[in-house]
Amino acid sequence: MNRILIGSGKNKLEKIKGDELVVNIDKDTNILINNNNFKKCVIDVNNSNLNALIIRENDINQSYEINIRGGIVVLNLVSYSSLGLDIKINLNKEDSKVYVYNSVVANKKEIYNIRVNHNALKTDSDIYNNGITKDLGTIVFNVTSYVPKKSILSSVNQDSKIITLNEVNDNEINPVLLIDEYDSEARHAAFIGNFNKTQLFYLMSRGLSKKEASNLLINGLLIGTLDVCFNEKENLKKKLNDEWR
């Protein structure tokens, strides 16, 4: 399914109200949001499956609000040296699911606040944050998952990783699990550090230089984890290699 470009104001899925973009999804859709200058984006998903690719390269404080009333939403975020981002996701109907794949390249301080509210029973959320720091870059991932009482059989997963390619050591991962319902599952994982030396050694033993091995691991971390098609991954890898190394 081809992606629909969002932010031009030229399709029926969206409305632009000043510096706010509103997107309504009522059937299975793939969308692309690329370098738009809005401050807030609201995406309402109604009994549909949505795959969104969002590419950010600007210095605008942005916030996203995703309201899911049934269906599965896959949110692919790629940020190149942008300001941080606030994301609030509301799972408002039984069996709603969200997968967030957040890839970040930082050469200054960036703060990402992600909150998922499980407002209905049998809802699932999987949040994957992957960041690379370079130059003077630092990353803060603040991730909050909230499961109130009566949202039974809900599942929460947080997985955040920051790979440091610089000497700055102010990175933070702050996982918060607010679980008020016993009949639910919740887990989190966090890692800050360098690439595994064993992985680098293995790749170099196959004839790659250290730089080539590092680039392969960076591409795998930031691009390989995204839920997008092969051609989109190749384009994102090229952009990463050409402009951000």
Helix, strand, or coil (residue 198): helix
- Residue whose pair of structure tokens reads 């080539």 in the numeric block: 212
- Count CB atoms within 10 A of the CB of residue 82: 22
Give me the sheet containing 97-106, strands edge to edge: 4-6, 29-34, 50-56, 72-80, 97-106, 124-133, 154-164, 184-193
Separation of alpha carbons 161 and 220, rounded Å? 13
CA-CA distance, 194 to 6, in Å (whole number)?
36
Q: Which long-range contacts (CB under 8 A, 24 or more apart) does 228-236 make?
A: 228/51, 228/53, 228/76, 232/53, 236/55, 236/78
Q: Other C-beta atoms within 10 Å of 58: how many?
A: 14
**Tens place of pLDDT per residue across the chain (245 aa):** 689 999 877 789 999 888 999 999 999 999 999 867 899 999 999 999 999 999 998 888 899 999 999 999 999 999 987 888 999 999 999 999 999 999 999 999 999 999 999 999 999 999 999 999 999 999 999 999 999 999 999 999 999 999 999 988 899 999 999 999 999 999 999 999 998 889 888 889 888 888 889 889 999 999 999 999 999 999 999 988 876 66
For residues 129 and 51, give the distance between their C-alpha atoms in angstroms, rounded to a whole number.
Answer: 17
